[in-house]
Structure 1
């Protein structure tokens, strides 16, 4: 069984982001990590291959520095990686999905594809759906339990109110992994050292026939959320407090 896991190189959520120019930030001062939700996909893929045989291929689209994220997946047990370099160009979910599709087609389509349920930086939650659409495959997102057997995948996801939904799909398919699917392993030092010797194939957007300028979304401006002033204390009787609160919400905050 060949399994591809699509991962993203994202800023650590604990990092302080400093805006640089209109559409960028000082990434040289920021620690980047594997998108946390993608780690569940890597772990599940490795477990399936450990049980059934095959290979796990880590695929990402991003800057050349994203090879560090691929190495993290290789240390967890994947066999090799594919990096589609973007030269720092902004790609929307449409172009990202097209790049992932093209890279996997060039390498040979897998039997199963994992993504995270979404990325913690842009939180568009679109790439897995677009990728599945371009490949003509079924897709389920936010999967918290998965069984793969006999050419079928049975996925379980929570739908709210304590209810769960179970969906059966034929392979190949796309699975969006989330917390609860498994407990991602922490690579041991020997695994980290072995990962440094594993193969990562690099290809550019041009190699795949993709024009970065053809995206549906253009990044116009990137700016931090404005700082809010401290809390305003409302005093007086209960009636006076309610009246003042309504006024603040209507006139100052304009949320009513």
Structure 2
């Protein structure tokens, strides 16, 4: 079985980002493997062990420093990696087209795992665009996955705490969520071994894909403003409960 994992090189959420000008930021900060993609890699490796005679290929679109993220995927158990190198950070349209071209060039897989979103922009689009381009079934927010012969059964998180079960054929694209598994920490021998695994670099310009104008224009970046407030509720327990419900519904608007 051939399994691909699409991963993204993203800024560490713990890093302090310095904004440069109106719509740029200092990229010398720490970048990491997108946390949702960690679950994708973990599940791909688990399926590989379950099936046997399988290969896991990590694929990423990004600048050359994204090799670091691919090495992380390799240390978790991926067999080899492909970097589609570009000097810009493309939107989901170009990303999905680049992934499609590189994946087809390498040989169409049986399953493509990827995180349900990236923590830097949370566009929630790439997996759907990729699945449509490859004519594959797709499921996102996946928190349970099982493989039976030529079909997969997945459980997905839905709105308001509901869960849905989807039965679909291979090949397919799976968008992983945090409840799916617990990513393992690579051992030192695995990290050292990952340094020797193949990372193939493909220039984005060498792929025969249509490159439309970016559908997203960043006009301005601003640091997030942390707003905190408190409210003291007084009265009997029953009264406090009713006050709390009113505050949550009318003021906080979370109910």
TM-score interval (norm. to shorter): 0.7 to 0.9
Within-5 A mapping of 1:43-122: 43-53=42-52, 54-87=54-87, 89-122=88-121
Q: Distance in 1 between matches of 2:136 and 2:66?
A: 27
Structure 1 residue ranges without an equivalent (≥5): 235-248, 250-256
Q: Secondary structure at the match of 2:67?
A: helix
Does the 8 A contact of 1:99 with 1:208 survive in 2? yes
Match of 1:183 in 2: 182
Q: Displacement, 1:27?
A: 1.2
For residue 206 of structure 1, what is the aligned residue in structure 2?
Answer: 205
Residues 149/233 of structure 1: CA separation in 2 closer, same or farther (3 Å cut): closer
Uncovered stretches (5+) of structure 2, i.e. residues with no partner: 233-249, 251-255
Query: Normalized against structure 1, the TM-score is what?
Result: 0.85
Partner of 2:166: 167
Q: Deviations over 1:109-160 (max 9, x none)?
A: 1000011010111011111111111111110000000011211011111224
Deviation at 1:233, TM superposition (A): 9.1
8 Å CA contact 2:12, 2:31 repeated in 1: yes
Secondary structure of 1:182's aligned partner: coil
Q: Are residues 1:124 and 2:134 paired?
A: no
Aligned 8 A contact 1:144 1:181 in 2: yes
Change (3 A) 1:204 1:220: farther
The change in CA–CA distance for 1:231 and 1:201 in structure 2 (over 3 A counts) is same
Q: Tell whether the 8 Å contact from 1:137 to 1:174 is kept in structure 2 after alignment.
A: yes
**Root-mean-square deviation (Å):** 2.3
**How many residues are aligned here?**
235
Is 2:94–2:212's contact at 8 Å kept on the other side of the alignment?
no
